[in-house]
Structure 1
Amino acid sequence: MRVLVADDDEICREVVAHRLTTAGYSVLEAADGNEARDHLLLGHAQLAILDWDMPGCTGVDLCRMIRESETDHYIYLILLTARNSTDSALEGLTAGADAFVTKPISGSELLARVHGAERILSMETRDVAIFALARLAESRDTETGEHLERVRNYSRMLAQHLCQHPDFRNRIDTSFIRLIYSTSPLHDIGKVGIPDAVLLKPGKLTKEEFAIMQRHTTIGAETLEAACRKFPQAEFLHMAKEIAAWHHERWNGSGYPDGLEGEEIPLAARIVSVADVYDALTTKRVYKEAFPHEEAIRLIVEGRGTQFDPRIVDAFLQLSDRFNTIRERLSDTAPNSARTDSHLGALSVER
């Protein structure tokens, strides 16, 4: 595996590079943030060790830039820093860093972090399988792969931002952020069990049809629960089940399938709910045009404290420009999507 080492301090850079080369890694060096950015965006390395303070583009800015960019593979980012405060750690996590190595550099700590990165990156094959399975489910109602990409990017961005919120600091870490990115595409996997007559119906659903449509949450949950029983140590399966089961629950308890309320709703499901609704609002369906970004913001704000966790809506508002950027970059090029179930009361936007 090739590792990019970016640091404007030549001695520090050479020390890190030497330690990694001795351990058998292929090393690519960059003397500033701009050079490092070019290497990463061109796919020259899948693991990068970035100095926090670099000319041109700081390590934190580079983390943020990489997370906002469209790359073919996940890039594992380690920040090299003398800062060890909680606030600095939160700033780095929010920007998208996966881990930290503190200065002065310990060779054993450095290699431990890199070995950990290798384990995480080896899971990309698993993530590809998850995405392929989710895409198969979505293909039944002509959703595009871009829908799944958008939702998981929105979900990861919200999780990264929320990790600095006092209520979530002990609940959202790098593992949570990686897992929600990997598993959120499975939110509607239960659609495979819904008859075409209901799933593909372009008009308004009857009461009976809507009850059938709601079953996609329990079908998805039951499928993933069976996998959890077979592989109880697979943490990603547990999060995937929570998202599939409860991403249609509402903060005030009026959602489905179980009428969960407030904190009873798993955090991952609450995050994906906001991401999924925004995407449903801003994309074209066979029964409606895409709503403008500003209108989607207004509707989500209307659901603050009733449909959505208020803290997640507040995070969404702070990130709304970045949501719009992702929406534009990953816009649909496939034919119009079929209808999905109602997320916002009388306004049918997502089934």
Structure 2
Amino acid sequence: MENKTSVLVVDDDDIALEMIEHYLSLENFLVYTAFDGREALEILDEHEIHIVITDWEMPVMNGLELCREIRQRYTEHYIYCILLTSRGRHEEIVEGMASGADDFMVKPFNPPELLARINAGIRLVGLETRDLVIFAMARLAESRDTETGEHLERVREYSRCLARAMANMPQFADVIDGEFIRLIYQTSPLHDIGKVGIPDGVLLKPGKLTAEEFEVMKKHTILGADTLDAALKKFPRARFLRMARDIAAAHHEKWDGSGYPYGLSGTDIPLSARIVAVADVYDALTTRRIYKDAYPTDYAEKVIRENSGKHFDPNVVTAFENCKDQFVQLVDRYSDATSEEAADLMTSS
């Protein structure tokens, strides 16, 4: 079946809601409807929505509040928001756009204009093909190490959990927003992209690395940063490339300055890299690798806790303490998925 663009229309006016739903259905969109912001959030939790068209004035939760919630809560993919309202003054347009709306239409709406604005939103949402490329690049590095399993999926889930927890800390209220959370989810899989340049004899060695081999392994941070720096030169304003570069370069730096490759310490280490450092170590501890068995989650928690202020940023460790139960759930989820895949293989063989 052909994939359709999903549109959620939110309006407490039955007639307006029915008109937009009918028109968009004729244009082959998959249309969902809601009468207020709260109902819209329930639909967003249950379905992958690409475009939201919302009225401004509604009971329970109005359109501005809905746009703000969308920007804070839904970080897996970008949702394009069109604010539909009878308001049209310049200051009201500014207020609407500042709430997180991408576009603004004054009622009564003109159907062809609405369609044109939706298509503009589809083009913007289509930029998320970029995210598929990011993940494909990361998979290239991971494909050389068959022992890491769903490492990329877990690390980005852990990183998002940590970033969300830190967003609730007063000291990060102006630093970690919905966009930061979305970007760290998207770019954290690139943390080991530099491993494509590490020889198999070092990368896949089953035993402990020698001092010389470890020096070779450490170069994956520089290789990854150089790769992403080259892209940044072409697109210097691309925030996702800068975050990806910071993570690739600095996720092995340590809070006390004893890490690599540059020996950065404290807040000189980019925040995104400090977050991924905890996510990466937790995953390394709780999963089987070519050189070790998986450790229990309570042991991993102990290691993270004991390394607060040494390896890890104490604030990130505090965030970890606040969401460690979610980490355990993610370990179980991916463990179950791996078991199911193994069972399927056994059945089909």
> How high is the TM-score relative to the length of structure 2?
0.72
In the other structure, the counterpart of 1:329 is 333
In the other structure, the counterpart of 1:210 is 214
> Can you list the C-alpha shifts for 1:302-349, whole angstroms capped at 9, x where unaligned?
11111111111101111111122222222362999xxxxxxxxxxxxx
Aligned to 1:228, the other structure's residue is in SS state helix
Contact 1:156 1:181 in 2 (8 A): yes
| TM alignment of 1:1-351, pairs within 5 A | 1-5=5-9, 9=12, 14=17, 26=29, 27-30=31-34, 37=42, 41=46, 43=48, 45-48=49-52, 53=60, 74=77, 76=79, 100=100, 107=105, 118=122, 121-144=125-148, 146-331=150-335, 333=338
The Cα shift of 1:161 comes to 2.2
Amino acid of the residue matched to residue 333 of structure 1?
A: T
Aligned to 1:140, the other structure's residue is in SS state coil
Amino acid of the residue matched to residue 2 of structure 1?
A: S
Distance 1:137 1:217 in 2: 12
Distance 1:299 1:52 in 2: 49
The Cα shift of 1:17 comes to 5.3
> Can you list the C-alpha shifts for 1:135-173, whole angstroms capped at 9, x where unaligned?
011111225562111111111222222223222222222
Aligned to 2:143, the other structure's residue is in SS state helix
Distance 2:19 2:330 in 1: 35
Deviates more, 1:233-242 or 1:30-39: 30-39
Rg (Cα) greater in structure: 2
Distance 1:108 1:144 in 2: 52
Distance 1:238 1:35, change over 3 A: closer
Structure 1 residue runs of 5 or longer lacking an equivalent are 81-97, 337-351
The Cα shift of 1:38 comes to 6.2
Amino acid of the residue matched to residue 41 of structure 1?
A: E
Contact 2:82 2:105 in 1 (8 A): no
Structure 2 residue runs of 5 or longer lacking an equivalent are 84-97, 343-349
The Cα shift of 1:6 comes to 5.3
The Cα shift of 1:30 comes to 3.5
> Can you list the C-alpha shifts for 1:11-47, whole angstroms capped at 9, x where unaligned?
69839957x969x89442135867964675354x334
In the other structure, the counterpart of 2:347 is none
Amino acid of the residue matched to residue 265 of structure 2?
A: E
In the other structure, the counterpart of 1:93 is none
> Can you list the C-alpha shifts for 1:105-163, whole angstroms capped at 9, x where unaligned?
x745999x989965652222100011011001111122556211111111122222222
Amino acid of the residue matched to residue 245 of structure 2?
A: K
Contact 1:30 1:36 in 2 (8 A): no
Deviates more, 1:9-18 or 1:202-211: 9-18
The Cα shift of 1:272 comes to 0.7
Report the number of matched residues. 304
In the other structure, the counterpart of 1:346 is none
Distance 1:146 1:222 in 2: 25
Contact 1:130 1:182 in 2 (8 A): yes
Distance 1:223 1:108, change over 3 A: farther
Structure with more of its chain in helix, by fraction: 2
Computed over aligned residues only, the root mean square deviation of the Cα atoms, in angstroms, reads 4.1
Distance 1:233 1:266, change over 3 A: same
